[in-house]
């Protein structure tokens, strides 16, 4: 069958026939790297266009409609423009850190791709602590923002970076607790096992109201973690010109921009994996024929469908809600989300012990 895992198996077998295992492994790594970079480029193009169209339609506008049919080449034209622009480094900046920061942002995004299961049996690295790995590595992204802000030698950049630090450090708590509630129910940190545990129903349905609360808190917290409006305090166009990437131009800016969208994709993919069953098809109880029809849809389409649905929800947030002030932002986390998610995880633990889920 032409599934993603089938293709990867064919390539794996062919490489092992042609070369020694070491060279086959090296070639596979290269292929995986190229695929990840290709996915990044494709995501950047698709998500920027999607965001512009979604924002336009939500604000009763038309959106890009000039470049190419219905404007689908708009983000390609933007990329071309950014590629030919000069990537300036300001005179007073710390040159090494300044140029390193966008790369760190991209590398973090790349590392996060490793444990995500894109389809059935199609995963770069099936490690047994996938959830822990994701929550640990995603915290590194704050370092790239701090690095960019500090190295720019600009007050706006520094303030944006500091805000971003406060924001990500605090929102990571409630995101972590929301993820933890899934781990409590599953009893495993392995992303594959978490997906397999949802074969008879996704956690958002199986876990009653506490899981719904955890899901909502997770979505709010990851919106804040990816520095998107209504939590875009790190960029804060209205106060800090562009926050941590004020001084960046050309391709370095584009890397930050791309990293933002890739991070959105990744957190939505994690949300889809943990709460909406990853590549698991949608099944309803004992409706055998319905379940069989759902099984015919390829698992990669299920995964990308759920992920893009969550991305749409996050975009919906961005173009609906007013921005928060920095004190309101921290109030929301420390006075509302954190107590609620702590109480919620107690409920989930009780549910898991007493077996009250399906």
Partner 1 sequence: MFIVKYIKDVFGAIKSLLVGMKRTGYYFTHHKEIITQEYPDNKATLQLPERFKGEVVMPHDEKNEHRCTGCTACELACPNGTIKVVTKFDITPEGKKKKAIDKLVYHLELCTMCNLCIVACPSDAIVMAQTFEHSVFDRSQLTKVLNNPGSKIMDGVE
Residues of this chain that interact with partner 1 (CB under 8 A) are: 54, 57-62, 316-317, 319-321, 336, 340
Q: How far is the CB of 211 from partner 1 (least distance, A)?
A: 17
Quick one: 13 or 59, whose CB is closer to partner 1?
A: 59
Cβ of residue 71: shortest distance to partner 1, in angstroms? 12
- In this complex, which beta carbon is closest to partner 1, that of residue 108 or of residue 332? 332
Stated length of the chain: 358
Quote the crossing angle between the two packed helices 208-225 and 155-186, to the nearest 10°: 160
Q: How far is CA 92 from CA 76, 231, 246, in A?
A: 33, 29, 14
Contact 245, 253 (CB under 8 A): yes
For residues 230 and 321, what is the distance between their CA atoms, to the nearest angstrom?
6
Give min distance, CB of 219 to partner 1, in A: 12
DSSP annotation of 61: -
Q: Where are the alpha helices (DSSP H) in the chain?
A: 4-18, 21-58, 74-84, 95-113, 130-138, 141-151, 155-186, 191-196, 203-206, 208-225, 237-240, 250-275, 288-296, 299-318, 326-331, 338-354
Residues 6+ apart with CB under 8 A from 171: 221, 222, 224, 225, 231, 333, 337
Give the tokens for residue 122. 């199609």
At closest approach, how far in Å is the CB of 97 from partner 1? 38
Closer to partner 1 by Cβ: residue 134 or 310: 310
Shortest distance (Å) from residue 96 CB to partner 1? 43
CB of 308 to partner 1, least distance (A): 15
Q: Which is nearer to partner 1, 57 or 125 (CB)?
A: 57
Give 316 or 358: the residue with its C-beta nearer to partner 1: 316
The residue among 60 and 354 lying less far from partner 1, judged by its C-beta, is 60
C-alpha–C-alpha distance, residues 308 and 265, integer Å: 8
């Amino acid at each position: 069958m032409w599934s993603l895992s089938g293709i990867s198996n064919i390539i794996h077998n062919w490489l092992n026939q042609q070369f020694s295992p070491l060279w086959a492994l090296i070639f596979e790594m290269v292929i995986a790297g190229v695929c990840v970079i290709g996915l990044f480029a494709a995501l950047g193009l698709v998500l920027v266009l999607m965001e512009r169209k979604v924002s336009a339609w939500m604000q009763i506008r038309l959106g890009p409609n000039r470049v190419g049919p219905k404007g689908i080449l708009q983000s390609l034209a933007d990329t071309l423009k950014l590629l030919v622009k000069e990537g300036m480094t300001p005179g007073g900046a710390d040159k090494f850190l300044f140029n390193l920061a966008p790369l760190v942002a991209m590398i973090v995004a790349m590392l996060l791709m490793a444990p995500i299961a894109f389809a059935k049996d199609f995963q770069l690295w099936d490690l047994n602590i996938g959830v822990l790995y994701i929550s640990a590595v995603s915290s590194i992204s704050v370092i790239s923002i701090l690095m960019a802000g500090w190295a720019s030698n600009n007050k706006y950049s520094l303030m944006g970076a500091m805000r971003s630090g406060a924001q990500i450090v605090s929102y990571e708590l409630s995101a972590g607790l929301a993820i933890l509630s899934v781990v409590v129910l599953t009893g495993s940190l392995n992303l594959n096992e978490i997906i397999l545990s949802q074969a008879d129903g996704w956690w958002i349905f199986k876990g009653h109201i506490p899981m719904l609360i955890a899901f909502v808190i997770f979505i709010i917290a990851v919106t804040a973690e990816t520095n998107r409006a209504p939590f875009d305090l790190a960029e804060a166009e209205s106060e800090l010109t562009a926050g941590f990437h004020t001084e960046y131009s050309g391709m370095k800016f584009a890397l930050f921009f791309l990293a933002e969208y890739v991070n959105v994709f990744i957190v939505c993919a994690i949300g889809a994996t943990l709460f909406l069953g990853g590549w698991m098809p949608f099944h309803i109880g004992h409706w055998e024929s319905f379940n069989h029809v759902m099984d015919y849809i390829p698992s990669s389409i299920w995964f990308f469908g759920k992920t893009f649905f969550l991305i749409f929800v996050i975009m919906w947030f961005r173009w609906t809600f007013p921005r928060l002030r920095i004190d309101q932002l921290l109030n929301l986390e420390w006075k509302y989300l954190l107590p609620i998610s702590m109480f919620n995880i107690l409920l989930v633990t009780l549910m898991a012990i007493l077996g009250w889920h399906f």
